[in-house]
Amino acid sequence: MSTTDSLSIAILDFARLTCDLSDDVLENPWTWQDYDEGVRFAFFRTYEELRSLAVKLGAGRNAPGTGITQAQQILGQYHAGYRDLQAILLGRTAAQLDRSPGGEEWSVRQALQHILSAERNFYFMVHFALLDARLGNARPTEMTEAIWDEFWAGDPSEQMGESTSASELQAYYETLHRRVLDEFVTITNAELEAPAVYWEAQPYPLRFRLHRFDSHLRQHTIQIDKTLVALGLAPAEPRRLLRLVFTALAEVEAAALGSLAGAQEIQILADQVQARQAEIARALGS
């Protein structure tokens, strides 16, 4: 359970309400204090509040013993990529995510399967490289099939296959993503230089391995973005605005990684977003 869970739930609820709005609906009346700019401004106000909270949480970690580590910063970058992909896929139908643009191009579901396959490998490899470093093992643990099977025993991925739906893949990804953050948030600056062996001819430090979670995800997020455009599903303005909001949400969550501070401020904003969602629902006639 994270201190930011209530806020992420509030933002997701707001996003589900608004992601499929048409551009013209953004002109519906909605006011905030002296600003009478319509429903569109609700997105920007939410964005502003999230970014302001991220700054405050970041500033609060300047005190001795509360600073954010390099590993936490890297994980925060990876989390931003996760939230960006989540914003892109929000509200898409099963049929949309299963369609291929043609030729040998992947569907969104196929791209998601690849992302998950890669990140499970990354997680497995980093887990044991970190364990070797902490135990002082001179030789890296051999990544055998038996160790793989034992490590993933009981994981929901055991029941997943080629027919697994995109929504099921997304649900599993949330679980895997949280597992990665929770385990690696304690990596120290020194441990980032520990070697990790994968398929390459030489080991690479954990620092590089953690950054690969982010860069590989971004690579295939671009692919998914292009696929949706090719299918005639280019985002309307509300989805573009939500990508900004999700970027700001990720900034808050990254600033809170490994810390329990700021829980009250986070909950206050979560309550504000929930109240705003109710206002927007009324403005939309929902």
Q: Read off φ and ψ for residue 205, nearest 5 degrees.
A: -70, 160
What percent of the chain is modeled with pLDDT above 90? Answer: 90
The DSSP 8-state label assigned to residue 234 in this structure reads -
- HSE-CB at 230 with a 13 A cutoff on CA atoms is 16
Looking at the fold, whether 160 and 222 belong to one and the same domain comes out as yes
Looking at the fold, whether 241 and 226 belong to one and the same domain comes out as no
Element (H, E) at 205: strand 204-205
Looking at the fold, whether 225 and 99 belong to one and the same domain comes out as yes
Looking at the fold, whether 173 and 53 belong to one and the same domain comes out as no
Looking at the fold, whether 167 and 147 belong to one and the same domain comes out as yes
Looking at the fold, whether 125 and 147 belong to one and the same domain comes out as yes
For residue 1, name the pLDDT band (cuts at 50, 70, 90).
low
Looking at the fold, whether 73 and 190 belong to one and the same domain comes out as no
pLDDT of 82 reads 98
Round to whole Å and give the CA distance between 267 and 248: 16
Round to whole Å and give the CA distance between 40 and 141: 54
* Short-list 15, 212, 56, CA closest to 125: 212
For residue range 122-154, what is the model confidence (pLDDT) as tens digits? 999 999 999 999 999 989 998 899 999 999 999
For residue range 207-237, what is the model confidence (pLDDT) as tens digits? 999 999 999 999 999 999 999 999 999 999 9
Looking at the fold, whether 97 and 136 belong to one and the same domain comes out as yes
Domain of 55, in residue numbers: 1-86+237-286
Looking at the fold, whether 124 and 173 belong to one and the same domain comes out as yes
What CATH number did the domain enclosing 143 receive? 1.20.120.450
pLDDT of 111 reads 97
Number of domains in the chain: 2
For residue range 25-64, what is the model confidence (pLDDT) as tens digits? 999 999 999 999 999 999 999 999 999 999 999 999 887 7
Residue 88 has pLDDT above 80, yes or no: yes
Q: How many CB atoms are closer than 10 A to CB 92?
A: 20
Mean pLDDT across the chain, nearest whole number? 95
Predicted TM-score of the model (pTM): 0.96
Looking at the fold, whether 214 and 117 belong to one and the same domain comes out as yes
Looking at the fold, whether 227 and 102 belong to one and the same domain comes out as yes
Looking at the fold, whether 143 and 160 belong to one and the same domain comes out as yes
